[in-house]
């Protein structure tokens, strides 16, 4: 059939038009990978072809690759960092320093070419920098090919061989991966401890192993061709080798795991993915599969409704790794734990990462809190439904974590790059708890409806892209009509603390009372105030912040169970505020600021005011002490 010149022209223009929306662009990767592992000595060799498209307005003259396995060598950055940080990850500690040559990880690249022309490159630790032979102009695609070989490390962190539950190969971060290039430039972050970032594209991966092995991976398994002649120096025509082939689109990474004893189970989720489970026969969690198969449809339905549908054809839960770790279309999890709820919680957290990591691919090094924190938020929401607890606010665990961090005085701003927090404790509370609380509080600021509209718009606008904090805040502004820059700037960029107090009431006249409120902390916030009366009634008021300008109409409180009376906005410059209510002061039995703890108030003792107990006349104590501290 003859090609239409018109359609070729239109198709060529389309991606450019889509990407120029709001000036946003992202580079594109298409990988073809072939790897063969030799289980006798745990070495591997492979071949990689990368079609790389530069959608940026910049001319690229060099490229960077990650060689993550090189972190598992004595004196690597990961090793020294782990031995010098005050609270090392227990899985790492000094273990890397003790690895013998046959136990280390290693990744070596050779034969690196651009469009068939040899490139100059140099490797430092876990990062390879290559100088392009032909500068890559805006809009151009180039082909980068390389051979790689190396050694699978004894499992120390995430990836490696012989994990503690006996899984042979947990293969994360196993191939030379191009660093991401975005509006902030290159991101060749050395592998020190955590957090990954890559551009989206298509992966076609061929994995060669002895025929006894079973492989679970990112992507859909497609039949491997017998004469599939992917060039690979390690690809020997051994009869006993079986080749597996997987394909995935719109992903930014690719994981696989293999074990000869893997049991493979699968079910099709209605309106959702093919859910696959790979585990060793002795896996503790294997007996949880039937219950998971029952709960998973509700999980995917809830996530689809609240955050947008799961957009890939399959999701694999693979026993492997050293805890629970997210990868596109898959998770590697330990099979630890006898309790189903613990297993379900881990599944929920890692699978929520399919949204906040897999589809919404933030730069985790820069914004780990958008990845870990948002996954934690979604996990708490979905677990609240799956466990039938149906709590109004299921996020109090995150609040407790944050308060513990404040108490220890170890808080650092969320703008700190993930690897550079002083201690792991500060990183993990910042990323998981404070990232989750970012959404919890946003929900309290904009109200229930605008919040969920924001989350859906976040998915619709940013799936398969690299959103940043301001992108989410702009959507929240559009859905609520409010101004919200102040909130992002203070929560992510400072260590200021929120503290509001209910100090007393003042009789204004018959049926009118002024409730005295004080901003004790240096972080202003809007909040609900609950007033209870002798007749048993409860009244809810919302005190907005004038910084936000407008309020959404008919604003429902976070959790959606109250429609509060929105009162006059508080100017943050003013330490005190009088909330005027149409209730007699004698009627009021209790005033509570933020009754359901949607805001991270660092001192809750002063949030509640109750009338002072009437003293006997002969008592010497002051008769009226309006503001108990």
| Choices 140-148, 369-377, 589-597, 620-628 (CB under 5 A): range interacting with Zn ion | 369-377
| Choices 87-95, 117-125, 368-376, 446-454 (CB under 5 A): range interacting with Zn ion | 368-376
> What phi, psi does 133 have (nearest 5°)?
-75, -35
Burial (CB count within 10 angstroms: exposed 0-12, middle 13-18, buried 19+), residue 71? buried
Binding to Zn ion, residues 311-350 (CB under 5 A): none
> What phi, psi does 334 have (nearest 5°)?
-75, 155
Tell me the angle at which helices 448-462 and 289-307 cross, rounded to the nearest 10 degrees: 100
Residue 254: CB minimum distance to Zn ion, A: 18
Residue 379: CB minimum distance to Zn ion, A: 8
Q: What angle do CA 620, 622, 627 make, to 5 degrees?
A: 150
**Nearer Cβ to Zn ion, position 372 or 499?**
372
**Nearer Cβ to Zn ion, position 375 or 455?**
375
HSE at residue 586, side-chain half, CA atoms within 13 A, is: 4
Number of DSSP helices (H) and strands (E) in the chain, helices first: 12, 31
**Nearer Cβ to Zn ion, position 375 or 515?**
375
**Nearer Cβ to Zn ion, position 372 or 468?**
372
**Nearer Cβ to Zn ion, position 81 or 357?**
357
**Nearer Cβ to Zn ion, position 371 or 530?**
371
Residue 355: CB minimum distance to Zn ion, A: 12
**Nearer Cβ to Zn ion, position 154 or 333?**
333
DSSP state of 600: -
Task: Single out the residue of 372, 379, 477, 601 in contact with Zn ion (rule: CB under 5 A).
Answer: 372
Residue 441: CB minimum distance to Zn ion, A: 20
Give the separation between CA 334 and CA 361, rounded to whole angstroms: 24
| Choices 67-75, 181-189, 365-373, 489-497 (CB under 5 A): range interacting with Zn ion | 365-373
Residue 279: CB minimum distance to Zn ion, A: 20
| Residue 40 Cα to chain centre, angstroms | 37
Give the separation between CA 322 and CA 315, rounded to whole angstroms: 19
Residue 349: CB minimum distance to Zn ion, A: 6
Give the separation between CA 488 and CA 355, rounded to whole angstroms: 21
* Sheet with 60-66, side-by-side order of all strands: 120-124, 127-136, 60-66, 177-178
Residue 371: CB minimum distance to Zn ion, A: 7
Tell me the residue length of the chain: 629
Structure tokens at 370: 């958008």
**Quick check: 195 binds Zn ion (CB under 5 A)?**
no
Residue 190: CB minimum distance to Zn ion, A: 21
**Nearer Cβ to Zn ion, position 182 or 326?**
326
Residues 430, 419: contact at Cβ < 8 Å? no
| Choices 283-291, 295-303, 309-317, 370-378 (CB under 5 A): range interacting with Zn ion | 370-378
In the three-class reduction of DSSP (H, G, I as helix; E, B as strand; rest coil), residue 417 is classed as coil
Q: Binding marks (x or -) toward Zn ion, 558..597, rule CB under 5 A?
A: ----------------------------------------
Burial (CB count within 10 angstroms: exposed 0-12, middle 13-18, buried 19+), residue 602? middle
**Residues contacting 452, CB < 8 A, separation 6+:** 306
Binding to Zn ion, residues 204-263 (CB under 5 A): none
**Nearer Cβ to Zn ion, position 52 or 369?**
369
**Nearer Cβ to Zn ion, position 372 or 594?**
372
Closest by CA position to 34, among listed 181, 139, 149 = 149
Give the separation between CA 138 and CA 177, rounded to whole angstroms: 21
CB burial of 462-493 (b: ≥16 within 10 Å; e: otherwise) equals bbbbbbbbebbbbbbbebbebebebbbebbbe
Give the separation between CA 356 and CA 378, rounded to whole angstroms: 9
Residue 326: CB minimum distance to Zn ion, A: 6
Residue 357: CB minimum distance to Zn ion, A: 8
Residue 61: CB minimum distance to Zn ion, A: 36
Residue 376: CB minimum distance to Zn ion, A: 7
Residue 372: CB minimum distance to Zn ion, A: 5
Binding to Zn ion, residues 77-136 (CB under 5 A): none
**Nearer Cβ to Zn ion, position 348 or 399?**
348
Closest by CA position to 213, among listed 149, 152, 169 = 169
Residue 288: CB minimum distance to Zn ion, A: 20
Give the separation between CA 147 and CA 404, rounded to whole angstroms: 49
Number of residues that bind Zn ion (CB under 5 A): 2
Tell me the angle at which helices 340-352 and 374-386 cross, rounded to the nearest 10 degrees: 140
**Nearer Cβ to Zn ion, position 89 or 372?**
372
Binding to Zn ion, residues 375-414 (CB under 5 A): 375
| Choices 242-250, 315-323, 366-374, 548-556 (CB under 5 A): range interacting with Zn ion | 366-374
Residues 383, 348: contact at Cβ < 8 Å? yes
Q: Looking at the DSSP assignment, which residues form a beta bridge with residue 108?
A: 149
Structure tokens at 352: 């929520």
**Nearer Cβ to Zn ion, position 372 or 419?**
372
**Nearer Cβ to Zn ion, position 130 or 378?**
378
| Choices 43-51, 88-96, 161-169, 364-372 (CB under 5 A): range interacting with Zn ion | 364-372
Give the separation between CA 516 and CA 581, rounded to whole angstroms: 11
Which residues are near Zn ion by CB under 5 A?
A: 372, 375
């Amino acid at each position: 059939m003859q090609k239409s010149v018109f359609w070729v022209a239109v198709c060529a223009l389309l991606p450019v038009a889509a990407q120029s929306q709001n000036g946003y662009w992202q580079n594109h990767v298409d990988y073809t990978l072939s790897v063969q592992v030799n289980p006798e000595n745990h070495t591997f060799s492979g071949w990689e072809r990368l079609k790389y498209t530069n959608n940026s307005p910049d001319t690229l003259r060099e490229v960077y690759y990650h060689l993550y396995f090189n972190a598992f060598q004595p004196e690597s950055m990961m090793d020294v960092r782990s031995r010098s940080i005050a609270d090392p990850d227990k899985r790492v500690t000094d273990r890397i320093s003790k690895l013998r040559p046959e136990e280390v990880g290693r990744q070596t690249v050779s034969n690196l070419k651009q469009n068939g022309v040899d490139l100059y490159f140099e490797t430092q630790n876990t990062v390879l920098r290559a100088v392009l032979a032909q500068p890559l102009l805006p809009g151009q695609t180039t082909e980068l090919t390389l051979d790689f070989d190396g050694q699978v490390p004894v499992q120390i962190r995430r990836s490696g061989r012989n994990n503690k539950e006996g899984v042979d190969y947990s293969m994360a971060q196993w191939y030379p991966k191009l660093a991401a290039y975005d509006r902030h430039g290159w991101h060749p972050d050395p592998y020190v401890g955590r957090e990954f970032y890559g551009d989206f594209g298509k992966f076609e991966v061929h994995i060669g192993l002895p025929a006894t092995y079973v492989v679970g991976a990112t992507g859909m398994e497609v039949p491997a061709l017998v004469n599939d002649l992917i060039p690979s120096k390690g690809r020997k025509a051994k009869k006993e080798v079986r080749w597996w082939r997987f394909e995935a689109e719109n992903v930014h990474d690719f994981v696989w795991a293999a074990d000869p004893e893997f049991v493979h189970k699968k079910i099709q989720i209605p309106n959702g993915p093919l859910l696959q489970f790979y585990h060793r026969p002795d896996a503790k969690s294997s007996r949880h599969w039937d219950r998971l198969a029952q709960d998973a449809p509700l999980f995917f339905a809830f996530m689809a409704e609240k955050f947008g549908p799961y957009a890939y054809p399959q999701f694999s839960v693979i026993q492997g790794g050293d805890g629970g770790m997210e990868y596109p279309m898959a998770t590697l999890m330990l099979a630890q734990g006898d309790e189903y709820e613990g297993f379900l919680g881990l599944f929920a957290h890692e699978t929520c990462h399919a949204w906040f990591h897999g589809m919404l691919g933030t730069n985790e090094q820069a914004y780990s809190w958008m990845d870990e924190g948002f996954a934690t938020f979604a996990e708490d929401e979905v677990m609240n439904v799956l466990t039938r607890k149906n709590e109004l606010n299921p996020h109090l665990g995150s609040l407790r974590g944050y308060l513990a961090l404040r108490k220890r005085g170890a808080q650092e701003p969320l703008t700190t790059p993930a690897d550079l927090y002083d201690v792991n404790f500060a990183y993990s509370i910042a990323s998981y708890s404070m990232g989750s609380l970012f959404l919890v509080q946003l929900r309290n600021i904009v109200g229930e409806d605008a919040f969920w509209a924001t989350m859906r718009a976040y998915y619709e606008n940013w799936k398969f892209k690299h959103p940043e904090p301001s992108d989410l805040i702009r959507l929240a502004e559009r859905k609520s009509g409010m101004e919200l820059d102040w909130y992002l700037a203070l929560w992510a960029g400072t260590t200021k603390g929120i503290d509001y107090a209910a100090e007393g009431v003042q009789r204004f006249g018959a049926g009118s009372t002024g409730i005295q409120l004080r901003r004790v902390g240096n972080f202003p916030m809007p909040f609900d105030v609950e007033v209870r009366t002798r007749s048993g009634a409860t009244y809810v008021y919302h005190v907005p912040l004038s910084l936000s300008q407008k309020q959404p109409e008919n604003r429902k409180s976070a959790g959606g169970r109250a429609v509060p009376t929105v009162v006059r906005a508080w100017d943050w410059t003013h330490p005190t505020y009088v909330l005027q209510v149409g209730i007699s002061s004698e009627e009021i039995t209790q005033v509570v600021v933020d009754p359901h703890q949607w805001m991270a108030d660092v001192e809750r003792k002063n949030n509640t005011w109750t009338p002072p107990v009437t003293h006997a006349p002969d008592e010497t104590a002051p008769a009226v002490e309006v503001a108990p501290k």
